[in-house]
Amino acid sequence: MSNLFLMPKYIFTGKNALNKASDSIKLLGNKALIITDDIMVKLGSVENVTNLLDRINVKYSIYHEVNGEPTDAMVNSGIERYKSENCDFLIALGGGSPIDTMKAIGAMITNPGTINDYLGKIIEKQTPPLVAIPTTAGTGSEATQFTIITDTKRDIKMLLKGPNLIPTIAVVDPVFTMTSPKGVTSATGLDALTHAIESYTSRLAQPMSEIFSVSAVKKIFDNLLKAYNNGSNVEARTEMSIAALQAGIAFNNSSVTIVHGMSRPIGALFHVPHGLSNAMLLTSCLKFALKDAADKFCDLAKAVDMYKDGMSDMEAGQEFINKVEKLCSDLHVQTLEEFGVDKTKFFDNLDKMAEDALDSGSPQNTIRKVNKEDIINIYKGLWK
């Protein structure tokens, strides 16, 4: 069986990665639209980027309205800014939201219609050059062909995809993650862990993606709690940045499975941040997936030293899931109730959420077959 493996054209990692990328960025165009949020402006992170652009004589305009998970309205506003400012390439600085917004803006600069027309469709025409500078260690969006945008009229999260959405340049500099608060560190780190596990246990996993998946799982278990407990731990932040990148590369080529499929409707209807909704679902979904993928989970148990001689694949896989559950507990992952989700409204929307999850296509990548009833039962189980 043959496989295609995709990743960004240029990846710059480590301390001072942004400066290292300057020559490559200079070649992309004359004026950049910088897509970011108010926090990045206040922290001075945007100034780091604009100072570099000034040094290499690249003009720019700053669009800092991506304050929350990306919506079609944010995308449309960004498109207007890009055109009115005569920009010719894009830079995103932030977590997954600015990077996903950048991809969607880029897609609609060169493709017809509106972003709402592309649910589940391939972005066929090449975008302007895209530069992704993540400030969290989690989404992996800097390395993927996917973007998730909320359709505000239909209350759904649209998954858009295509190789043309892979950033031209990914700049993974841990300095930008040092100011990430504990809650964000936890949620985004568990998002990366979800990517790593799902990409390894996906029907679409391939030998190249598995290498990145396993390495990411090991790095996350070794470093996430350290970064959470001490945000100034440079080594832990660096390792988590690399792990998130690796997990992004992995699921870019093997896709995600049931966790992400079920997570998106929770985010769309109840505005739970993406990483947190993944974390809420993670252990329940892994327990479901274990039945028909015990050998894969056993591999992961071996990778994190949870396998003991004489264990069956199922026993080892369960030990791995127990380790995931312990990490979620140590990171104080909120429940739906603690986040403030209305239980009655949640149960009233079970059918819609299950249908939306299946419509995304992600649950079908799970090795164990998934149906609507399975998804509803997992949703119900989130309420103890």
Q: Which of 123, 118, 128, 71 is nearest to 97 (CA)?
A: 71
Q: What is the bridge-based pairing of β-strands 146-151 and 10-13?
A: unpaired
Non-local CB neighbours of 88 within 8 Å, separated by 6+ positions: 28, 29, 30, 31, 128
When pLDDT is averaged across residues 31-52 and rounded to a whole number, the result is 97
Task: Give residue 103's pLDDT.
Answer: 98
CATH, domain range 182-381 = 1.20.1090.10
Task: Give residue 25's pLDDT.
Answer: 98
> At residue 198, does pLDDT exceed 90?
yes
Burial 80-102 (b: 16+ CB within 10 A, else e): ebbeebebbbbbbbbbbbbbbbb
60 pLDDT band, cuts 50/70/90, is very high
d(CA 27, CA 29): 6
156 pLDDT band, cuts 50/70/90, is confident
Tokens of 204: 């679409």
d(CA 187, CA 185): 6
**Residue range(s) occupied by CATH 3.40.50.1970 in the chain:** 10-177
> At residue 288, does pLDDT exceed 80?
yes
Task: Give residue 54's pLDDT.
Answer: 98
What percentage of residues in the chain have a pLDDT greater than 70? 100
Give the total residue count for the chain. Answer: 384
State pLDDT tens for residues 213-260: 999 999 999 999 999 999 999 999 999 999 999 999 999 999 999 999
Q: What is the bridge-based pairing of β-strands 146-151 and 156-161?
A: antiparallel
Q: What is the bridge-based pairing of β-strands 130-134 and 89-94?
A: parallel
| 53 C-beta neighbours (distance < 10 Å), count | 18
Task: Give residue 89's pLDDT.
Answer: 99
> At residue 384, does pLDDT exceed 80?
no
State pLDDT tens for residues 111-153: 999 999 998 789 999 999 999 999 999 999 999 999 999 999 9
Tokens of 338: 């603690």
Contact 144, 195 (CB under 8 A): no
Task: Give residue 120's pLDDT.
Answer: 79
> At residue 155, does pLDDT exceed 90?
no
> At residue 93, does pLDDT exceed 80?
yes
CA 163 to chain centre: 16
> At residue 159, does pLDDT exceed 90?
no
50 pLDDT band, cuts 50/70/90, is very high
Burial 244-255 (b: 16+ CB within 10 A, else e): bbbbbbbbbbbb
316 pLDDT band, cuts 50/70/90, is very high
State pLDDT tens for residues 347-361: 999 999 999 999 989
- The residues pairing with 31 across neighbouring beta strands, listed in sequence order, are 59
> At residue 311, does pLDDT exceed 80?
yes
Contact 313, 244 (CB under 8 A): no
Tokens of 47: 């100034």
> At residue 266, does pLDDT exceed 90?
yes
d(CA 110, CA 83): 11
When pLDDT is averaged across residues 101-112 and rounded to a whole number, the result is 98
When pLDDT is averaged across residues 263-283 and rounded to a whole number, the result is 94
Task: Give residue 364's pLDDT.
Answer: 98
**Residue range(s) occupied by CATH 1.20.1090.10 in the chain:** 182-381
d(CA 184, CA 50): 25
295 pLDDT band, cuts 50/70/90, is very high
| Region for 110 from its dihedrals, namely left if φ exceeds 0, alpha if ψ lies in -120 to 50, beta otherwise | alpha
Q: Give the pTM.
A: 0.95
Contact 279, 31 (CB under 8 A): no
Task: Give residue 163's pLDDT.
Answer: 97
10-177: in CATH 3.40.50.1970? yes
Task: Give residue 315's pLDDT.
Answer: 98
